[in-house]
Amino acid sequence: MPLQRKAILCTAALKRSISRQQIPHYRPFSHLHSQRSPADPSRPSSTTPPTFAANPATRRSSSTSTEAQLHTGTSPVTSTPGVASAWAPIIPDLTGGIPQSATTIPTTGTKISPSSFPSSAAGLGGIASAFKTDPTSIVGNELASLTKNIKSLLGSGHPFLDRVAKYYINSEGKHIRPMVVLLMSRATAIAPKVDGWNVDQAVLDTNAVNTSLTPLGILNDFNPDHMKLSETKTFTNLGELVLSTQRRLAEIVEMIHAASLLHDDVIDLAETRRGKKSGNLEFGNKMAVLAGDFLLGRASVALARLRDAEVTELMSTVIANLVEGEFMQLENSNQDKLSPEVARETLDYYLQKTYLKSAALISKSCRSAAVLGGATQEVADAAYQYGKNLGLAFQLVDDMLDYTVSAEELGKPAGADLNLGLATAPALFAWEEHPELGPMIERKFSEEGDVVKARSLVVESNGLARTKALAESYCQAAIDALACLPDSEAKEGLIAVVEKALKRKK
């Protein structure tokens, strides 16, 4: 098929994906800086359950082009006084309102139990279920040296720092993020390229990923394991090229993720992670925080050596997004000093936080993989859309699992969100059905019996079913974004990842 035809299909697929998503624009912190007087009778009660608009179109701003937002990564923001305005530049584009399928599920009537969740992605129009591909096997060669290379990138002359920094890496996690990066690298390898991109030169240039830009004596960054890095290779299968820069990107993504886990576990006072003692419990909070910082530092060094300015910008903002998302989560669970009310836009707030904490890493790494492979703007946009929607769906499923599976299955504490005072999507949807959840959400489930009662209300409500429907909507949007890519085994693998995201139990 001619490249121009591929580009047209890609643009059309992106428009379909945007129209399906309909996530509300977020007005940052406006609910924390209301200009109304406390005595104003129109001020919403803190215990009043939010009503999520049945017509998402009424929740969208029409003043800004969504196609332009795809390129800028911004969204329209309503100006608010004080600290709110300082946050405006960092709010990502999550165009539109909540997917229609989630808003049309009745808030009363048939209940759904955790055990009644369908085992396949039935809501994906049969697309995902048509593929029985094992995505891990598709990029098995590339993944084979992932852990070894990451540990080599993290080598330190300080033995204890070396041990703490590699603690979660040695745990062998699911490696979903690097797997998606590698699949996207292969899927976009045979997609349209920007003018002037030369594959032979790209292969030659990528041999520099292990070479410093600055004399080592000036860097003063001794890594005793640097020589253990695997020889840089470019894997090719049926024309699907995976450059060594893209392999290194996959390793960088896992390093950033591991650093975020170390930091999150300190904040959450976690006790287990990946089936063993958490880093903060094993080594103490100070060492866990410092090890996370070290991981981010080494990831930044590896990122610079990719020698691509756009990718460096993309992945650097991910690190900032992770921090911003954590601040939003802490703010959302500790509003006492700013406002006694629970925001009526709590679900909007939750989705924005979820993008920053979870979807930003996947979406921007997918786009980075496409950029490193010389993809056109349209293909890079499609890669971003796929990653963004997959990331949002993945976190929504994670929030459901917190209510539906045991700690042994998760490999981390179950029911942690309520214990931390966090109201995620299942609780927010259940709040619409059970107004008595409002005071519990407001006081962050801090009173005796709150956690047990809230969990019971969520399970007996349609909160879990509506959360699953929302996750399915994002999964379908992720699949739609791939429409412009040529058919390939890697593309099938990306679709299979979407299905597995819905079916997973840990």
**Three-state secondary structure readout of 269-290:** CCCEECCEECHHHHHCHHHHHH
What are the φ/ψ torsions at residue 240 (nearest 5 degrees)? -85, 95
User: What's the CA gap between 389 and 367, in Å, rounded?
Assistant: 13
Burial profile 462-501: b = 16 or more Cβ within 10 angstroms, e = fewer? bbbbbbbbbbbbbbbbbbbbbebbbebbbbbbbbbbbbbb
| Residue 150 is assigned to a structural domain of this protein | yes
Q: Report which of residues 3 and 118 the model is more confident about.
A: 3
pLDDT of residue 30: 33
List beta partners, residue 419: none
User: Of the given ranges (135-144, 384-393, 492-501), which has the lowest mean pLDDT?
Assistant: 135-144
313-336: average pLDDT: 83
User: Of the given ranges (11-25, 272-286, 452-466), which has the lowest mean pLDDT?
Assistant: 11-25
429-455: average pLDDT: 90
Query: Would residue 204 be called left, alpha or beta, if left means φ above 0 and alpha means ψ between -120 and 50 degrees?
Result: alpha
What is the full DSSP assignment across 343-400? PTTHHHHHHHHHIIIIIHHHHHHHHHHHHHTTB-HHHHHHHHHHHHHHHHHHHHHHHH
Tell me: pLDDT of 21 over 90.
Answer: no
User: Of the given ranges (73-87, 126-140, 452-466, 474-488), which has the lowest mean pLDDT?
Assistant: 73-87
| Residue 38 is assigned to a structural domain of this protein | no
For residue 349, CA distances in Å to 22, 135, 329, 331 come to 15, 33, 9, 10
398-410: average pLDDT: 79
Tell me: pLDDT of 319 over 90.
Answer: yes
| Residue 431 is assigned to a structural domain of this protein | yes
267-295: average pLDDT: 92
- Alpha helices, H only, 271-344: 279-283, 285-304, 309-332
348-355: average pLDDT: 92
| Residue 168 is assigned to a structural domain of this protein | yes
| Residue 39 is assigned to a structural domain of this protein | no
Query: Would residue 96 be called left, alpha or beta, if left means φ above 0 and alpha means ψ between -120 and 50 degrees?
Result: left
Which residue range(s) make up the domain with 187? Answer: 3-27+49-503
Q: Place 200 in a pLDDT band, splitting at 50, 70 and 90.
A: confident
pLDDT of residue 45: 41
CATH number at residue 125: 1.10.600.10
| Residue 436 is assigned to a structural domain of this protein | yes
Amino acid letter at 403? Y
Q: What percent of the chain has pLDDT over 70?
A: 66
Over the chain, what is the mean pLDDT?
75
pLDDT of residue 268: 87
| Residue 32 is assigned to a structural domain of this protein | no
Tell me: pLDDT of 409 over 80.
Answer: no
Q: Place 420 in a pLDDT band, splitting at 50, 70 and 90.
A: confident
pLDDT of residue 404: 87
Is the sign of the CA dihedral 218, 221, 225, 231 positive or negative?
Answer: negative
User: What's the CA gap between 4 and 376, in Å, rounded?
Assistant: 11
Q: Which two tokens stand for residue 470?
A: 């929302």
pLDDT of residue 240: 64
Q: Place 205 in a pLDDT band, splitting at 50, 70 and 90.
A: low
Q: Report the number of distinct structural domains present in the chain.
A: 1
pLDDT of residue 12: 53
| Residue 250 is assigned to a structural domain of this protein | yes
pTM for the whole structure: 0.76
pLDDT of residue 115: 38
User: What's the CA gap between 271 and 288, in Å, rounded?
Assistant: 13
